[in-house]
Structure 1
């Protein structure tokens, strides 16, 4: 199939861009130094935070999960006739680093790539910071004489397959509870807490991070009630808070919420990590360890729902978005599918979207607010 007729045109490669994680104990502190570079966090504090990783042998599960997602995406791309589209993987904070991945893609002939991040929602840390890393890589490669353009797949929190995966996960978790406590189970939807200032700046008009999560919560609750005939009480709560106590972050914390619903007489709960697409450290430690201990201490039966992972419907939706964006770029008007009241997200991030509150002028690729001819292919900005 020629580049002109391929459903992936005009893209020469698809890049899975993720956070990264340590592969062993010796990697933990260097990895955390990468994550926190420029924030002035002392090494002894990083060692303390690293205990979360050391408790799991110093190895994050995220890399293996990305490999599984890569394999699932490859199979779905091939099944759609996109076997000629290279699929590569790069990380923000650990090997394989994004710059190295893009350099290798350029050496293989890529001049325009589409980036798929392992983050479904809008926020600085979930979108803009990834775009800043893309810009930094493009600038570095431009300094080597390698011109490359990058676009980004739109937010997929309300993609049908993401909602299918999370609905199936909640239903499966409910089935794990004993019959006598299942009907009254509280559905506790969790995501990563962020500073309230970052939440207020998320999206073009602000507030998108919370609004998007609430839309997912409402849709999954509706679907569960439709499938089971039971309307379960639910709430959106947060985990993985960090930063100084003086800085306000999104609340309530999942542990505080479990204590509250237990005090109110809840017979059981399902913890559903809708803010994450795979079971990485924030899920394994904050939910499977800390929150599980809280529930046990309360005598509250809790089942933890799975993340989207490589659920077949989720993988199909991701490839749908790749095909959709490619079609739009070569002049077609594809159907932009999204579930719920918020509709499909923008393809190109608007000026000021998910603002960087610390360094507002830092370049961020894949948006209308940054175009650098030195690092983009002829014909348009990154």
Structure 2
């Protein structure tokens, strides 16, 4: 018999970015993502090609459904009866639709897992704004649900260990003669440097890039690898606007020209194989590497693993059971917040991204 460890929370909402699941959905989805940013139509046409190359389907929705199924099994194994809902910011099923269903089901006090490990506007603040939008949506109907967003988890022991195990597995796939000289390269989604600076405070520095750096250091240490590079990918902004650099493909070319023959590339910034992973890494990077006769092993993302499901339920138990927060990093903790409140004073204060 399933037994709730506490009756304070009555649901979990997995809140994500969203993605199209057919050719006809690609353009409306991209218009949702870029609304209000002044993106020219020809830029949307360029990005749409990435999706059409894969049948108009982003893998993100199905990957999130797999995460939810794994989390449901983990909840059952731990004796927790907590229904799990799914909502997106930019495409079906929308977060507001999930909120409607939750209200109809009698949910009053829900936990929220945002499918991002990081701070910053895109990784954290926008999810807080999504929650605020769901609260307003329900209030307009005379309904109310309290939403508590689970903390950032980039330095959770399970996240670090699973990524380290996957890094070691990728090194093991290389020919024996190349393993010792292969270079470990971590990559995450680039953002404008102004947005990175606004993710933290002047005293503490940019939160997003520091978190990615610290996670990379912890993973490399756990994998017993002494040296690595941290680079960025998926830039979409105007050339006149500074973004985090270097780009993964540019960096791979530079390394190869200096004699590097093999890379292990770890997409630490992504929970699952999103479009950015399968296009920028599995397509563009691999094509460039093949031209140069350079071997690249791409590390698996953490999302589909049982370990990640256990991590999610750990986060739930931290709130439900008031457990001590498990973290390996040294940066200030960014904890749970209610109804879209900021996780810390001055954190993720940027309100608009520069137009791409």
Cα deviations by residue, 1:158-178 (Å, 9 ceiling, x for unpaired): 111111111111111111111
Question: Is 1:216 the equivalent of 2:215?
Answer: yes
TM-score with structure 2 length normalisation? 0.93
Structure 1 position 10, deviation (Å): 1.2
Structure 1 position 147, deviation (Å): 1.2
Structure 1 pair 8–33 and aligned structure 2 pair: CA distance change class (3 A): farther
State the match for 2:270 in structure 1.
Answer: 276
Contact 2:150/2:335 (8 A) holds in 1: no
Contact 2:334/2:344 (8 A) holds in 1: no
Question: Is 1:337 the equivalent of 2:337?
Answer: no
Matches of residues 235-314 of structure 1 in structure 2 within 5 Å?
235-314=229-308
Structure 1 position 6, deviation (Å): 2.9
Structure 1 position 267, deviation (Å): 2.9
Between the aligned partners of 2:107 and 2:24, the Cα distance in structure 1 is 34
Contact 1:158/1:344 (8 A) holds in 2: no
Structure 1 pair 314–216 and aligned structure 2 pair: CA distance change class (3 A): same
Between the aligned partners of 2:10 and 2:31, the Cα distance in structure 1 is 33
Between the aligned partners of 1:301 and 1:45, the Cα distance in structure 2 is 31
Cα deviations by residue, 1:262-311 (Å, 9 ceiling, x for unpaired): 12222311010000010010000000001111212222111111000222
Where has structure 1 moved over 6 Å in runs of 4 or more? none
Secondary structure of the residue aligned to 1:121 is coil
State the match for 1:139 in structure 2.
Answer: 136
Contact 1:188/1:235 (8 A) holds in 2: yes
5+ long unaligned stretches in structure 2: 338-342
Structure 1 pair 8–86 and aligned structure 2 pair: CA distance change class (3 A): farther
Cα deviations by residue, 1:244-274 (Å, 9 ceiling, x for unpaired): 1100000000011111221222231101000
Aligned pair partner of 1:90 in 63, 74, 87? 87
Contact 2:199/2:350 (8 A) holds in 1: no
Cα deviations by residue, 1:44-81 (Å, 9 ceiling, x for unpaired): 32122100101111100111101110100000011111
Structure 1 position 8, deviation (Å): 4.6
State the match for 1:351 in structure 2.
Answer: 345
Structure 1 position 232, deviation (Å): 5.0
State the match for 1:47 in structure 2.
Answer: 45
Aligned pair partner of 1:73 in 71, 74, 83? 71
Between the aligned partners of 2:276 and 2:330, the Cα distance in structure 1 is 29
Secondary structure of the residue aligned to 1:212 is helix
Between the aligned partners of 2:23 and 2:29, the Cα distance in structure 1 is 10
Between the aligned partners of 2:276 and 2:303, the Cα distance in structure 1 is 15
Secondary structure of the residue aligned to 1:76 is helix
5+ long unaligned stretches in structure 1: 226-230, 329-333, 360-382
Please, which moves more after superposition, 340-349 or 259-268? 340-349
Contact 1:194/1:241 (8 A) holds in 2: yes
Secondary structure of the residue aligned to 1:7 is coil
Contact 2:161/2:222 (8 A) holds in 1: no
RMSD: 1.7
State the match for 1:364 in structure 2.
Answer: none
